Amino acid sequence: MAIPISYSLRNLWARKLTTALTAGGMALVVFVFATVLMLEQGLRQTLVSTGAYDNALVIRRAAGTEVQSAVDRTQAAVLESRPEVALGPDGVPLVSKEVVVLISLGKKGSGKPSNVVIRGVGDAGLTLRPQVKIVEGRTFRPGSSEIIVGRSIEERFSGVALGERLRFGMREWTIVGLFDGGRSGFDSEIWGDADQMIQAFRRSMFSSVLVRLNDASAFDSFTAALTDDQRLTLEAKRETVFYAEQSETLARFIRILGLTLSIIFSIGAVIGAMITMYASVANRTAEIGTLRALGFRRGSILLAFLFESLLLGVIGGAIGVAGASTMQLITISTVNWQSFAELAFSFDLTPGIVFAAMTFAVGMGFLGGVLPAAQASRMAIVDALRAA
């Protein structure tokens, strides 16, 4: 028979300060742990939601990123005529031939320069990306020196407000609209007309071609056709896969760094919990003897102390997760190592992360409590009673 749970609960309550400090230590570790997972999740979320499943992005084989890729006009024309490509209501293929260039802009406040993606898009560019919506002003007119700016760019960089003029590619460009990319990577881009960009940057080739497939299952025959056609040194990826791969290096770095830190911190928290629990056992030696004399078994003593320590973990975990959830209000930006451009993203708390963080916290409680609890259960009754 188990010792009543209220006994463990009230013992934690009776030592409020010690409990608060120990749980607080654990909460900090859980906070770091959860925040890192949220950061990684936010980054993946941002880049994955950048793509649509039935869109295929075509770049030069082995290019890896759009910036490094080149697709010439002939190749683009071949792609456009593939039967797997969906047609718009006007019978025109849903294809956006795009050019991606990096420019440097000064950040708000510090004025420090950072890389920004300039994307020249084709006529279907906006149609292919339904998550992108103009929130202020209007879209650019094809054939003009007009550009539209992503929400995150407008927030973080100076000189990019509606109506302002931006100088790059040996031209002045007028900002005629602001767009919301639906928390995707497009929020961190500036868009204009692809043909104008190619001229301005003295390019002869596009960077990538984005096509809408007839249906998502046409992807396999589309890639097969690309491989078979000797004229095309290109490869196609589902847009979702392409952007997920873009996040891989940075996401993995955040994960490894964060988890390493969490593990190192957690050793401290576990030792803290262990000291608390050893002190608790030492203070209650006579109580342990009494409980055993009354007929409670070693196992019950072990469970009561272990439960107390697990509870410390749960309290710490709950505080840590609650703290981490406030991080969702914050948006941060960093350079994506694959595209070399600034990317803004936020912390994203998922049920999976809450579960992982709470498991981590309970795990710390278990590790901190198991040795003291075992010590408590091993005491000889007569020796324990003598401590009264």
Partner 1 sequence: MTDVIVRIRGLAKSYRRGGQSVPVLEDLDLDIRSGDFLALMGPSGSGKSTLLNLIAGIDKPDRGTLEVEGVDITRLGESDLARWRASHVGFIFQFYNLLPVLTALENVELPLVLTSLGRRERRERAELALSMVGLSDRVKHYPSELSGGQQQRVAIARAIITDPTLLVADEPTGDLDRVSAGEILDLIGRLNSELGKTIIMVTHDQRAAERAHSIVNLEKGALVRAT
Give the footprint of partner 1 on this chain (CB under 8 A).
1-4, 6-7, 10-11, 13-14, 286-287, 289-298, 380-382, 385, 388
Nearer to partner 1, 134 or 385 (CB): 385
Complex with partner 1: residue 322 or 380, whichever CB lies closer: 380
**Minimum CB separation from partner 1 for residue 375, in Å?**
17
* Closer residue to partner 1, CB minimum distance, 170 or 294: 294
Q: How far is the CB of 306 from partner 1 (least distance, A)?
A: 17
Q: What's the min distance (Å) between Cβ of 299 and partner 1?
A: 9
Cβ proximity to partner 1: between 244 and 385 the closer is 385
Nearer to partner 1, 67 or 312 (CB): 312
Three-state SS for the chain is: CCCCHHHHHHHHHHCHHHHHHHHHHHHHHHHHHHHHHHHHHHHHHHHHCCCCCCEEEEEECCCCCCCCCCECHHHHHHHHCCCCECECCCCCECEEEEEEEEEEEEECCCCCEEEEEEEEECCCCCCCCCCCEEEEECCCCCCCCEEEEEHHHHHHECCCCCCCEEEECCEEEEEEEEEECCCCHHHHEEEEEHHHHHHHCCCCCECEEEEEECCHHHHHHHHHHHHHCCCCCEEEEEHHHHHHHHHHHHHHHHHHHHHHHHHHHHHHHHHHHHHHHHHHHHHCHHHHHHHHHHCCCHHHHHHHHHHHHHHHHHHHHHHHHHHHHHHHHCEEEEECCCCCCEEEEECCCCHHHHHHHHHHHHHHHHHHHHHHHHHHHHCCHHHHHHCC
- Pick the closer one to partner 1 by CB: 201 or 296: 296
Name which of 11 and 338 has its Cβ closer to partner 1: 11
The distance of closest approach from Cβ of residue 363 to partner 1 in the complex, given in angstroms and rounded to an integer, is: 27
Least Cβ distance, residue 289 to partner 1 (angstroms): 8
Strands 146-150 and 171-180 come out as parallel
The answer to whether the CB of 137 falls within 8 A of the CB of 148 is yes
Q: How far is the CB of 27 from partner 1 (least distance, A)?
A: 24
Residue with smaller CB distance to partner 1, 119 or 292:
292
Query: Inter-axis angle of helices 5-14 and 16-48, to 10 degrees?
Result: 100
Q: How far is the CB of 283 from partner 1 (least distance, A)?
A: 10
State both tokens at 206: 């596009």
Smallest gap from Cβ 302 to partner 1, in A, equals 13
Output 198 or 373, the one with its CB closest to partner 1: 373
Nearest-approach distance from CB 35 to partner 1, in angstroms: 35
**Contact call for residues 173 and 145 (beta carbons, < 8 A):** yes
